[in-house]
Amino acid sequence: MTLTIDGGSGVTISGGNATRVWWVNAGTNVTFAGLTITAGNAGAGEGGGIYNNGGTVTIASNATVSGNTATSNGGGIYLAGGTITLGSGNLIQNNTVNAVPPPAGGGIWLNVGTMISGIANYGSGNTPDNCMTLGPPCP
């Protein structure tokens, strides 16, 4: 399945601080453009904004992942598998992982076997850090 969501720079998709915003399964291709993914809460899990479980995710032009929370890893984006492409104009900021002991990947967590391309534009406030990896280098 292929899905493109282009908000034209005026759409916000929120988890209402109650649920993860997006879960992407293997065999699914999703492109986010011109929108903000915010207020995702993964509860006791990973990936408050986006959890990629083997699909292909593109964070395209003028897409923002901000204000999401996870207890384990990847406050903004968690890659359990699959690929992610970061297009120009993306912004990854103010995402938080809040477990003890401190895990990592407030902005992005890259697991073993994942692939990432492009440049991440990190704003301020990703806690405890912008990116952590067990696989490919952080962008």
User: Which residues are registered as beta bridge partners of 110?
Assistant: 79, 133
Pairing of strands 22-25, 2-14: unpaired
Residue 126 has a pLDDT of: 93
DSSP 64: E
Kindly tell me if the per-residue pLDDT of 101 is higher than 80: no
Q: Which residue from 93, 98, 104, 112 is spatially nearest to 131, judged by alpha carbons? A: 104
The three-state secondary structure class of 83 is strand
Mean pLDDT of 102-125: 85
Q: Which tens digits make up the pLDDT trace of 36-87?
A: 999 999 999 999 999 999 999 999 888 999 999 999 899 999 999 999 999 8
pLDDT of residue 57: 95
